[in-house]
Structure 1
């Protein structure tokens, strides 16, 4: 994997895998394929949602019921 993704990315992916308990080849490859090795994780091992703005076409907003 180091030849394909680079040693630094592989090391970061392995650290993330240890943090979340994903200790197999497929999990580490998935982390690398999806470029998740640099994304933050909270204390429970869940990925931190960095988007604070909630937008979706089905959300009516604060003025809908007034």
Structure 2
């Protein structure tokens, strides 16, 4: 199986498709969220963003 096809299967199993924007967030000073966002974009899901303010602050804005 081609690498990108395998990635598409994994992303699809999480409900991610080209029609959806994926917003990635994590704990402060934890590089894992950036790795996830980078991986999504590397494998072709360009509709990806990083939430820089943290989830609690974002939730408070809603």
Query: What TM-score comes out, normalization by structure 2 length?
Result: 0.29
Structure with greater proportional helix content: 2
Structure with greater proportional strand content: 2
Query: What TM-score comes out, normalization by structure 1 length?
Result: 0.28
Name which one, 1 or 2, has greater alpha-carbon Rg: 1
